[in-house]
Amino acid sequence: MTDATPRLLPWSSPDGKPSYVLGDGTGFLSRMADDVEEAQLFLADGLVEDARRLLDTRSWTTGELHLLTVELTESLVEVRRIATSRGARLQAAYPADRPA
């Protein structure tokens, strides 16, 4: 397993550093990461719907806008981490210097 590419997990270590796992993507931790990513993306979809609904009313309070901003920021951090992780795995699977 020396050629395995580390997978960025969708959570951080207790001290806030990125967490990684090595493997072929079929182990327990990889499956758990897949489930967490799916849940994060599902919650992000719901948050986008909530944001649209709130902004469409044009009668929001500053507190509502503040909470929306905090939640959207947290969600964006999670979605970016997922995109980074998946992009790295795609690049490892399909390196640019390998013929198609």
Domain ranges of the chain: 7-93
Burial of 10 (0-12, 13-18, 19+ CB in 10 A): buried
Name the residue among 27, 28, 8 with its Cα closest to residue 18: 8
- pTM for this predicted structure: 0.84
Name the residue among 43, 32, 31 with its Cα closest to residue 74: 43
5-51 pLDDT, tens per residue? Answer: 899 999 999 999 999 999 888 999 999 999 999 999 999 999 999 99
Name the residue among 48, 53, 37 with its Cα closest to residue 71: 48
